[in-house]
Every structure is written in C-alpha cells, then in structure tokens.
C-alpha cells in the first residue's frame, strides 16, 4: 500500500485572533502537525508568545516558518517584478533576522511569498540568505503540468514570468528545496484584501486530494485562518482531517520532515 504524505500550512500569521487559535486547536486536538507562516513585519508580541508556548508544549505539532516581510501589496505583490533586487533583499533579510532572533531554533528557515508573486531577484535573495525551502504552488491541471514539464526540460523555475513547480526538487540554480502547496479549501476569494471567500465542500476537497495524490507523493494543503469566520468553516477543516486520519495510507508531517526526507535524494535526480 502506497502511503501519501500530507502537510498543512497556514499563511498570514500576524495578530492573535480567534480564527487562528481555533484552527490551531483543531490540529492539536487531533495530534496533526500544522505549519504557521509568520509575517515578521506584522506579528504581534501576543502571537509570538502564544507560538512559543505552543511550540514548547507541542514541539512536533507546531512548525514556524516565514511569510515574506509585512505582506504589503506593492503593485505586483510584495516581491513581484515591481521591486528591485536590493529592495527585496532588504525586506527578506530583516524578516529572516527577526524570525531568528524572535524564535531561535524554533524557526525552520522556509520562505513563502505572499500571493505567490515573485521574480528571479526574489529567488536570488532567498537563496543567498540561506533559506532551506522555497514554497509556492502546484497546479494539478493537465495544462499546467505540461507547462511544468517544459520548464523542467529547460531547468527553469519560471517561464514567461509564470511559476514552474519543481515540487520536492531543488529550485533550479539554488540550494533551496521546493515544497509547493497543491490543495486549498477556498474555492473563490471574494475580497482580495479582506476575509470574504467561498469554500469548497468536504467532498470536493477530498476528491481533489484523491486526484493530486496520484500525481505527487507529498500533498500540501494551504490554509488562511482569517477566512474561517463561521462554525461551518471550522467544521470543514474537522471533517477533512477526520477523514484523512481514518486512512491507513496517509501520513502527516511538516516541512522540516519533508526536507529531511527529500533533500539528499533530490540532489541526485
């Protein structure tokens, strides 16, 4: 029986809110790891202290990584083509330094870029700064997979400004393993800078999982806790987790475990 490894990442961690705490509690109650991607320029002292307490109490269930700098939309994302290499390097550097000084060894050097909008200057900066993992997205549609295949042949991380998923392999020309998210519970964002959205049903999420697991051995789910405003939104998370937990062919892990499992093998492929 082939086991699929599953990882859960939650972006946009800044203020300590009820949705953030409730989402986290759902995972802790089930003893399933959750990765929190922290905005170093925005994270509050309350959130910092809360994360530290949780990490101390549940070291294998809580993972802390970096989400950009302050999540400012600069025309083409926080780190898109509208910003110079120097501007990007400064923000990424001060973000990493804050994560290291604030969380110490509890910080695992993974970088996720807000809105998934980045340039090759972003890659150059994150690689130079010593991030071990670069996270973006994996799109399972056949058209995107064909596009990815072309990028793989050409050993590229982007083509025509579009992301090429090198999931579980090193981003071309870098020392960063790429771990891309493949499934979101959100169907449509109704307010790009707010918290209104439409969610998929539990059935649709699980169907997406069944499709994706046939294509890749590690499936990353992406959450944005700020959109979970109603009890039904949390019930969706519970239902998905409970269904996956009942399966003998699913293993839960975090980014550091994925990195350890794939970092050497990926260098030889």
Predicted confidence at residue 82, as pLDDT, reads: 84
Listed range (76-85, 149-158, 228-237, 254-263) with the worst mean pLDDT: 76-85
Q: Is the pLDDT of residue 117 over 60?
A: yes
- Copy the structure tokens of residue 88: 């990007």
- Copy the structure tokens of residue 164: 């090429």
Instruction: Say how many C-beta atoms besides its own lie within 10 A of residue 53's C-beta.
Output: 11
CATH of residue 232:
3.20.20.370
Return the beta strands (E) in the chain as ranges: 4-13, 34-38, 62-67, 107-112, 133-135, 158-159, 162-163, 177-178, 183-184, 186-189, 197-199, 218-224, 250-252
**Domain extent for 19:** 4-267
Give the containing element (helix H, strand E) for 18. helix 18-29
pLDDT in tens, 239-263: 999 999 999 999 999 999 999 999 9
Mean pLDDT across the chain, nearest whole number? 95
Q: How many domains does the chain have?
A: 1
Predicted confidence at residue 193, as pLDDT, reads: 73
Predicted confidence at residue 73, as pLDDT, reads: 87
Predicted confidence at residue 59, as pLDDT, reads: 98
- Cβ(222)–Cβ(183) below 8 Å: yes
């Amino acid at each position: 029986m082939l086991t699929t490894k599953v990882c859960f990442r939650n972006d946009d961690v800044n203020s300590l809110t009820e949705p953030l705490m409730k989402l986290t509690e759902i995972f802790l109650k089930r003893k399933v790891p959750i990765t929190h991607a922290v905005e170093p320029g925005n994270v509050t002292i309350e959130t910092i202290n809360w994360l530290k307490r949780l990490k101390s109490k549940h070291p294998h269930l809580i993972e802390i990584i970096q989400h950009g700098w302050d999540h400012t939309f600069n025309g083409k994302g926080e780190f898109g083509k509208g910003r110079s290499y120097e501007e990007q390097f400064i923000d990424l550097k001060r973000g990493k330094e804050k994560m290291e000084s604030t969380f110490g060894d509890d910080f695992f050097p993974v970088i996720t870029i807000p809105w998934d909008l980045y340039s090759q200057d972003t890659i150059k900066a994150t690689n130079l700064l010593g991030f071990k993992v670069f996270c973006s997205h994996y799109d399972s549609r056949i058209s995107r997979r064909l596009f990815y295949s072309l990028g793989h042949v050409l050993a590229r991380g982007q083509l025509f400004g579009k992301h090429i998923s090198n999931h579980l392999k090193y981003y071309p020309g870098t020392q960063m393993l790429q771990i891309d998210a493949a499934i979101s519970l959100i169907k449509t964002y109704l307010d790009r800078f707010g918290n209104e959205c439409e969610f998929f049903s539990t059935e649709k999420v699980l169907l997406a999982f069944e499709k994706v697991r046939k294509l890749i051995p590690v499936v990353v789910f992406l959450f944005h806790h700020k959109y979970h405003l109603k009890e039904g939104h949390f019930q969706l998370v519970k239902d998905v987790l409970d269904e996956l937990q009942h399966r003998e062919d699913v293993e839960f892990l975090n980014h550091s475990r994925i990195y350890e499992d794939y970092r050497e093998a990926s260098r030889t492929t």
